[in-house]
Amino acid sequence: MKTPEQVKADFLANGVTISQWARDHHFTPREVSLVLNGQIKGRHGKGHAIAVALGLKSSPNQQAA
């Protein structure tokens, strides 16, 4: 799993904007920004789906190691 800072660094290193990533994954840029900045905790619903897609949380289908 990654930290929000690592995700942002990966975006920067790969020339990907938050907006582009969000559109590519069918989320709004605002929702993704809120998750990355900790304003949405990603505990359930769309916030959780975004956190999983970003690699901030493990998928519910994956067992903890």
pLDDT of residue 64: 54
Percent of the chain with pLDDT over 70: 94
Tell me the domain boundaries of the chain: 4-54
Summarize pLDDT for 9-33 with one digit per residue, the tens: 999 999 999 999 999 999 999 999 9
Cα angle 18-1-39, degrees, rounded to a multiple of 5: 50
Residue 24 half-sphere exposure toward CB, CA atoms < 13 A: 8
- Report the distance separating Cα 31 and Cα 65, nearest Å: 29
Question: What predicted TM-score, i.e. pTM, was given to this entire model?
Answer: 0.87
